[in-house]
């Protein structure tokens, strides 16, 4: 059983409106073709052609979300082998089992600071628990880090953002399918079976903090999804149960019953910039706690756990 714990004491920052970058918080263009586009690019794409619907979409098709500028990739319906299939697999990744997934859209990269600020300014999201990162005193709200993944967000924060953006969190099965690929591909990492390197992922403290989304195109999954190993862990919609795979349905598993929402373990996936290669494996499972409304509102656990290692991406469809 694995759990990701913050290494720093969590402080709650109350920011005034003047601290927020306001109109300057729009997603900014970066050199990578997979980066979130600017507002002007979104408008041009919307005018040029309507995005394909799920009925007509082909594997790898892309569309741009008008709400936040996120590029989404179509993941087709298919079967895959889910769970730990390599020598480093542990009990909560077993047994390996066949899963069938309906087609859906997956965010190509992790939600960025600039995207999240749009939700905060719209009144639909709360400011992250901390505005710093591991090595930066000001991270969230700093234009320099607009295209870096948002961190210090709770599960509730991630759910609220995806709802505001017209999407939702991916299920654990969808996440692993997007990372591993379909059919009989038993790869250990999104890019294959080669061990991680600095050309493939941000991991093992090599870069000491988060990096700009989409910075490791060589580490793309078979469907072309980026940053699914390292950089930040990613929230899913599933509650965690160690032996869930022994009872999981074959078609579109949604995770175990939540047994009530207070202080329950929620699955996170992908590993972070601080994790070794075993945590970057596509079958690896971690968890943090959801909000616990039975506690006093001043408690850190009231809104759930958050730290500098965890962000998220959204999905759509199904």
Please tell me the predicted confidence (pLDDT) of residue 39: 41
For 173-185, write each residue's pLDDT tens digit: 999 999 999 988 8
What is the CATH T-level fold of the domain 27-316, as seen in this structure?
3.90.1580
Please give the mean pLDDT across all residues of the chain: 86
Question: What's the rounded mean pLDDT across residues 294-300?
Answer: 90
Query: Which is more confident, 26 or 317?
Result: 317
C-alpha 37/C-alpha 259 separation (Å) is 40
Task: Tell me which DSSP letter residue 170 carries.
Answer: P
Question: What's the rounded mean pLDDT across residues 130-153?
Answer: 98
Alpha helices in the chain (DSSP H): 39-48, 113-121, 155-164, 172-180, 277-280
Contacts of 115 (CB under 8 A, 6+ apart): 27, 36, 68, 69, 70, 150
- pLDDT interval class at 6 (50, 70, 90): very low
């Amino acid at each position: 059983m694995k759990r990701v714990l913050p290494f720093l004491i969590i402080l709650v920052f109350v920011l005034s409106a003047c601290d927020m970058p306001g109109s300057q918080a729009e997603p900014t263009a970066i050199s990578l073709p997979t980066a979130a586009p600017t507002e002007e690019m979104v408008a041009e794409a919307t005018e040029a052609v309507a995005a394909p619907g799920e009925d007509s979409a082909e594997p790898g098709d892309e569309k741009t979300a008008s709400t936040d500028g996120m590029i989404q990739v179509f993941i087709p319906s298919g079967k895959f082998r889910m769970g730990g299939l390599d020598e480093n697999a542990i009990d909560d990744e077993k047994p390996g089992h066949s899963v069938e997934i309906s087609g859906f859209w997956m965010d190509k990269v992790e939600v960025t600071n600039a995207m999240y600020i749009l939700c905060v300014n719209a009144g639909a999201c709360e400011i992250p628990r901390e505005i710093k990162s591991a090595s930066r005193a000001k991270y969230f709200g700093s234009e320099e880090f607009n295209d870096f993944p948002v961190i210090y967000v709770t599960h509730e924060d991630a759910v609220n953002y995806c709802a505001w953006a017209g999407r939702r969190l991916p299920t654990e099965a969808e996440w692993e399918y997007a990372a591993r690929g379909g059919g009989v591909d038993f790869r250990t990492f999104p890019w294959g079976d080669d061990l991680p390197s600095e050309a493939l992922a941000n991991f093992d403290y090599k870069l000491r903090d988060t990096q700009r989304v989409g910075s490791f195109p060589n580490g793309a999954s078979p469907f072309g999804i980026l940053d699914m190993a390292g950089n930040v862990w990613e929230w899913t919609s599933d509650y965690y149960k160690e032996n869930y795979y022994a009872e999981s349905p074959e078609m579109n598993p949604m995770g175990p019953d939540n047994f009530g929402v207070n202080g329950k373990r929620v699955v996170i996936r992908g590993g972070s910039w601080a994790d070794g290669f075993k945590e970057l494996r596509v079958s690896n499972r971690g968890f943090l706690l959801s909000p616990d409304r039975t506690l006093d509102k001043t408690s850190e656990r009231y809104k759930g756990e958050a730290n500098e290692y965890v962000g998220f991406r959204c999905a759509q469809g199904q």
